[in-house]
Amino acid sequence: MKKSFHYILLCVCVVFANMQLHAQTQEYIVKAVFIERFARFIEWPPESKVHNTAKPFVVGVVGENPFGTELERLYNQQAIKNKQVDILYISDYKNIERCDIIFISKSEQSKVHLILDYCKSKPIVVISDIEKSQSMGVHITMGMQHNKVVFAINDKAFEKSACKVDYRLKQYAVQQK
């Protein structure tokens, strides 16, 4: 038994180690890049700290982090609105007010309404990839269609918000059912 155990272990590890990895673009890398693209087409109100060049642009991830380390790696050099980017991982919702954009992860599906309470009347753009989160009041909902990332814009949410979205971004958006 000892010998067979040992050989099985050896075989599994060697087979596993020889699997070839190949490059590919992952879903959350593209979603992370989209955050910067969205920001290009959104206008924050004059009183927002987005216009304060001394402060960084803060992207918050609320809930379990689906990006792994990609946000940090991508925005290590990349600016948003010509400002250095800080990534904030939020477990205490009070920290939401420090952000300019927040991404609500799927782990917070049952708490979207609560999170939106924290954003109410603040210049914060809310993005999520929770299915049908648009109907809950999220500004931009990302999804997948035929292995491509798509997004929907919630006009009503933007009307209520101090942030304004450029019509050119709407041209790329899909209509959510």
Partner 1 sequence: MKQICVKYAFMMMYVFFETFSSFAQEIPKDSLFEISFEDLMNMEVSSGTKLLQRAQEVSAKVTIISYDIIQKRGYNTIEDVLADIPGFQFRNIQSINSYVFGRGIPNQNNLILVLIDGVQINELNSGGFYGGAQYNLDNVERIEVIYGPASVVYGTNAVSGIVNIITKKPLTSQGVDVNAHTGSFNTQKLQLGYGYYNAENDFGIRISGLKKYSEKGDFGGANCLHNWSDSVYNFENDMSFDTKLTYKSITIGTNYLRKQSSANLYYRTQGTQYREGESLWNIGFLNSYVTYNVKPSSRFLFTHTSYYRNSTLYPNTIAHIVDTSQIRYYRPNYLIGTELVGKFTVNDKFSSIGGISFDYENLAKDYSITWSDSIIYMPPKPPKPVMIENYSTNGFLQLTYAILPQLEASAGGRFDYNTSYDFVYTPSGSLIYKAQMYTIKLLYMEAFRAPKPWDYNWGEGNHSLLPEEMHSMEVTSNFVVAKHVMVETSIYKNRFYNMFVKNNTNTAWINADTINLIGLEAELQYLRKRFQSYINYTYLHFYDFKDNTLEEIAPHTCNAGITYMPTSNITAHVRCNYTSKKVNANILYPQVDDACVFHAKLSYIVQQSLQWFIDVRNILNTEYYHTSNRNVTAYRQPQRTVLIGVTWHLL
Rounded Cα gap, residues 174 and 156, in angstroms: 15
CB of 152 to partner 1, least distance (A): 13
73 counts as binding partner 1 under rule CB under 8 A: yes
54 counts as binding partner 1 under rule CB under 8 A: no
CB of 164 to partner 1, least distance (A): 19
Q: By C-beta, is 45 or 68 nearer to partner 1?
A: 68
In the list 37, 156, 160, 164, the residue contacting partner 1 (rule: CB under 8 A) is 37
Q: What is the DSSP letter of 83?
A: B
Q: By C-beta, is 47 or 131 nearer to partner 1?
A: 131
Rounded Cα gap, residues 74 and 34, in angstroms: 11
Q: By C-beta, is 31 or 139 nearer to partner 1?
A: 31
Q: Are 92 and 113 in contact (CB under 8 A)?
A: no
Interface map 113-152 toward partner 1 (x if CB under 8 A): xx--xx-x----------xx--x--------x--xxxx--
81 counts as binding partner 1 under rule CB under 8 A: no
Rounded Cα gap, residues 104 and 22, in angstroms: 30
Distances 95 to 27, 79, 98, 152 between C-alpha atoms, Å:
26, 22, 6, 26
Q: Are 87 and 75 in contact (CB under 8 A)?
A: yes
The burial class, CB within 10 Å (0-12 / 13-18 / 19+), for 95 is: middle
Residues that bind partner 1 (CB under 8 A): 1-2, 5-6, 8-10, 12-14, 16-30, 33-34, 36-37, 64-70, 72-74, 76-78, 89, 91-94, 97, 107, 110-111, 113-114, 117-118, 120, 131-132, 135, 144, 147-150, 172
